[in-house]
Every structure is written in C-alpha cells, then in structure tokens.
Chains A and B, each alone.
Chain A
C-alpha cells in the first residue's frame, strides 16, 4: 500500500513535466497545425536559462592570491563574484541560492521572444506545407539549437541546485500512519508539481475566461471561419506560439534541480512528449494533460519491484505498451477530435 502511494507521488511529478511539454505541443498543433519537433529543444533552452541565470549571478573577477598555489604550482587565482561586491556577501549568497526560481524572470521573456522569432521567421512559412516538411525543418532547428548549446556549455550536465530550504525530503509516511521512511518525498518535487498545476491552470483559465482565449479556441476549431469574420487570427497565433514556448521553457527551468540540465535533454523528452500528446488525443488540451499524468503514474508503477518480478523489463516498454493499447481501443486517443492529423 505504502509502495502504491509512493509511486503515485513519483508519477505525479514525472507527469507534471510530461503534461507541461505536451500542453505546449498541443497548443501549437491545435492552433497552428504544425508538428513542432523543436519543442523538446525549447524545454532544454528553458533549463539552460536557469544555468545562465546562475552563471550571471556568479560572474566574478579574479585576483591573484600568492598565499595559495594551484595545481601547477603557480599562485592561485581567487574568484570573487561581482554580485557580492555590489550587494554584500550575505544577500548575494541568498540570491544565488534562489537562482532557479529567480531564473523564471529571465526564462519567460527569453522564451516568448524565441517563440515569436521562431513563428514569424520560420514556422509561418510552413503552415501550408506538408507535415513532413514541418518535421524536417523543426528537427533541423532542434539539432541546431542543441548543438549551439553544446558549443557553449559542453556536453556534461550542469547542476542547478534548488534553494537550500527545499533540499531534502518530507516524510509523508509518518503523517499517514506508516513507518518512518516508508513514504518520503523531496520538497522540490512537490514544488514542481504545484508549479505545474499553476501553469496548467493559468493556461486553461486564459483560454477559457478571456476574449483573446475565446478567439483562439474558435480559431482552433475553425480557422477559416474566424478569419472570415475579420479577426486577425495570425497575430494571435504568434502569441500562442510564444505562450507554448514559454510553458516549455518554465517547465525546463524549474526541472533543473530534479535532474541536472544537459544539451540533449530535449531529445530525451521529445519522443515521450509526442507519445503523450497522441495518447491524449490530437488537438485536445485536457487530453494532453490527462495523458501526461496518466503515463507518468503508470511508468512509476511499472518500476515497482513486485511488478518487475512478474514481467522483467516491463518498465522499459510500459509507456509504449500503454500507448499501443490506448490507440487500438480508442482510435483518436483519450480525448482526440475527429479529423485532426488523421490524414
């Protein structure tokens, strides 16, 4: 029992990442009809925004301290951050400690900008082109983005730790009457889960309760008619692309403390997030979110030792097994609309 609760918790935070990426992908699919293979790369760039934020805060100047020697036996260069010389060591340490949450201030504008530039400069020209061309061009873009990041930051993962107060884990087991240590759960993963609910909630609220959102939803359903009504749907679609990029970006930035960002993390998530979107059903935002959490939880359950004893290696393929079962029983995924990407 405690094992099931534990894996549900684990599934929820895995699912949060899947759901946020899938949400952005579906926004782009649904509004623009574009298959965006660069979406994983946007998630990765978001994570590197946190790295950059941390790096900017730790920008430092060197002074030579003859009292210490480096590994070659020469006088050691000692680094002091500019930040600490401006605001004092205490505040600067606190700011650096909080660099990941603070990096959202950087991530959102950067990602929105990247989204705008991508849509206006590239994607716009591919609305009328076949999906195959869209895949090729966005895949090319994904490679370029990730290779550029690799050229600047290397291939090694870069740690972006969570603020000190979120280190360690919380013992749910004691709270629920199980043995101590039976159900422990890291604080930052809880933060991530709550954060994802906020982001997803905000996107839904925006689409549901604003006029802008209403027009976009109408555009998703029938772009031509909305255009005929004299509404400039193009500009709204550009905005939606920026929004989708920002959602992927903040998902990435906050993901850093869970797993250290590296340049290929986007590709690692890409395939999975496509599976999530399709299982959720093409063009359905609730479907994408539902499938994200569902697959996260199922994946966690499959890694239970009790399950693996019966079917060795099931945790390697469970996502795909579930995808196949769902797609064969429900032709358009969980909540897909008829006719979207079916031709």
Chain B
C-alpha cells in the first residue's frame, strides 16, 4: 500500500485508525464520573496532539536521522503561525493558502538559517540554532511589533482587508474554514454516557498529520534516509569518500523546518492567533524533549512523546484541591485531608514537578524512550509481534 512494505503499511494503518477514532478512544470515562477529569477527547487538546505530533515527527527527521540537535526549531513554528495569520488577515480565511504559505515561509527561513548553522556540528550547531531562535523571539516581542503585534500576539481584526473574502458586515470575526467548512464546527454525539466531539479542525489536522507521517516513513526507508543515518554515524568517513554531506543535512534541516512551519500554520488555522511565546527557547526545548522522551530515531516515538507532554500540560494542571477532595470524599475526614495534602503538590500547580520526575524516570529506566516501554509491554503480553511493529528501527538504539 502506498509503496510501503507490509510492516510500514500496517504501522500507517494503525496510526490512521487511532487518529480516526481518537474522539472516542480519548473519552474512556463517563461524563460526570470522578475519572472524567482524565478524558482528553475534546477538540482543542486533540488538535494539539496531532499538531505537536507533526512538529515532533519533523524534528525527528533531523535529529533522529542525522543526529544534529537543533535548539531553535520553535522559531520555524512561530514563523509558520505568523505567516498563516497574515494570510488570514490579507487574503482569505480559507486554511489552504494559509497553511501552504506558512510551510513555504518556514522553508525559506530554515534554508537560510540551516545553511549558516550547518557550517558547524555538535554542540556548536545547537548553540547557533538556539541563537537564531532567541533572536527571532526577542525581536518578535519588541522591535518587530508592527509585523508580529509583539506581546499580545498577532490577531484578526474586523478591519482586515481579506481580499478574496470581502468585508465582514456582521460585526463578528470570520472563522477559519476549508471551503466553507468552519474549522471549529463540531459534531457532538451523546452515547454510552459520553459526549463524543468530532471536530472538523481536528480531522483536517489529522489528515495532514497522516500525510506527514507517511512522508516521514518514506524518508526513513529511502536511500536519502540511509544517507542521513550515515551522516550521523560517521560524517568524517563520508567526507573521506569524497561525499559532501552538507547538502543532505541541509535538506533534512529544511524538511524538518517545513514540518515545524506546517505545525505552526495549523495552530493558527485552529486558533487564529500567533504569539512570540511560541518561539522561545523553552518551546524549542519542548520538541527536543518530546522526541527524546518518545524515542528519537523511531517512527512512532515522537508522536507518543508529544502526546505525553501535552496530556500532562493540559490535564494534570487542571486538577485542583476541590477535585481531589471530591475523589477522596469516601475516606474518613482526617485521612482524606492527609491523602489530599500528599497528592496536591504533584497536580494542579505542581504538574511541572510530576512531569520533571517522569522525564527522569523514563530516561533512567527506558533508555529508548516511551516506545521502548511500549515494546516491552507488547513482548510481555504477546509472544509474536504483530504487523504494526516498528522492527526495523530498533527503539533501544541510542539517539545519536
């Protein structure tokens, strides 16, 4: 299927099925039950899952294959968002031109930045990318305010020209759409005590994520992918054989930059606002963490890693002491207070603490990232691996 071998096709189908049914799968707990807090099946978070998956898949093409650790990829995410919002402001609320434009602009920027940064390798390369990204962030926040709207972020306004759409007359801002289907249209179905929300925007992102995933599989399996792996394992030897590795590394850099631009464009398409925060070094660090946490150099790892981090950020931070007291209301008063007092520092405002500890635990006990955990689990339960396996890119292979 799609010129993939059986295993890869299986993997793609597996991911496709999961994303297709995500609105149902991510809502395992009945509405109103104590566990409903852990449901993640609402449009915004699902969109974030797939958008950050795109970001991490792209990052993995650079880092997982070539070993070049970029600490500035958030800059391309931000550039993608700004480009998309400008398209919404100037041209049309249709998401297609916006997303295309954001990919192209991010591609151009990554070509220039990549060309400069790839003159160095190792940590020198990392610091160069970091420097470019931090410069973009600082300038976007202050000096470039006419283009980026600085602190408050670039937004739509009623007075935007929107050449193709014409003026709005209703006094309400127009919505981003795909040929008339608004991105925030949501089909809500109530069944089995759960509310399943099928959002148009989510499926738009999900389709693009599957395409991005497919391209990534093809790159991993292509001679080009082999070449990138060779760059990682021994660049020196490649050079001695008379091969110039830089064009290959640059191609990988630009591809991953365009992935980041796509993710940024989609973020703006789901929610038409672009802020400078998106370009800060912490955001660049986040995608590094997602990739390593999931399993760098594996196909599925980055998707797992991004989902893991976004889940914590959005679900654990919302658990407050009132909710804890509800959960443990069945305990005697003194014990209830004690249990809540013990757990409270790790949820709500302490969600980062839990995330930090999990980072440490995962990297200490699962050197190959979450994907290794998944593989160990599968080995435990099924002796014979199934078609969905990702066997040819062993997860336990170190990230460099």
Contact = CB atoms under 8 A, between A and B. Distances in A.
Any A–B CB pair closer than 8 Å: yes
Interface of A: 35, 122, 125, 129-133, 135-137, 139-144, 147-148, 151, 267, 271, 274-275, 278-279, 282, 312-313, 316-317, 319-321, 323-324, 327-328, 331-333, 341-343
B367 interface: yes
Q: Chain B interface mostly helix, strand, loop or mixed?
A: helix
Nearest to B398: A130
Interface in B260-285: 281-282, 285
B363 interface: yes
Given A132-B63, A320-B132, A343-B235, 8 more contacts: A132-B399, A136-B363, A137-B360, A137-B363, A144-B357, A282-B124, A312-B143, A343-B400
A125 B131 contact: no
A278 B122 CA distance: 11
Interface string B377-400: 000000000000000000000111
B127 interface: yes
Interface string B54-69: 0000000001000101
A342 B124 contact: yes
A137 B366 CA distance: 12
A332 B120 CA distance: 9
Contacts, number: 136
5 contacts: A130-B399, A143-B353, A148-B353, A151-B350, A333-B124
Interface of B: 63, 67, 69, 116, 119-124, 127-128, 130-132, 134-135, 138-139, 142-143, 235, 281-282, 285, 288-289, 292-293, 296, 345, 350, 352-353, 355-360, 362-364, 367, 398-400
A133 B399 contact: yes
A137 B365 CA distance: 11
A282 B235 CA distance: 20
Contacts of A321: 131, 135
Contacts of B119: 328
Contact of A147 (B69, B352, B399): B352
Contact of B359 (A143, A279, A327): A143
A122 to B, nearest CB: 8
A20 to B, nearest CB: 20
Nearest to B358: A140
Contacts of A129: 367, 398
A28 B247 CA distance: 34
Nearest to A276: B127
Minimum-distance CB pairs A-B, first 8: A143-B356, A140-B359, A313-B143, A320-B131, A147-B353, A316-B138, A342-B122, A140-B360
Contacts of A125: 364
B354 to A, nearest CB: 9
Given A271-B281, A324-B116, A316 B139 contact: yes
A341 B126 CA distance: 11
Given A130-B399, A136-B292, A321-B135, A274 B127 contact: yes
B350 A147 contact: yes
A130 B116 contact: no
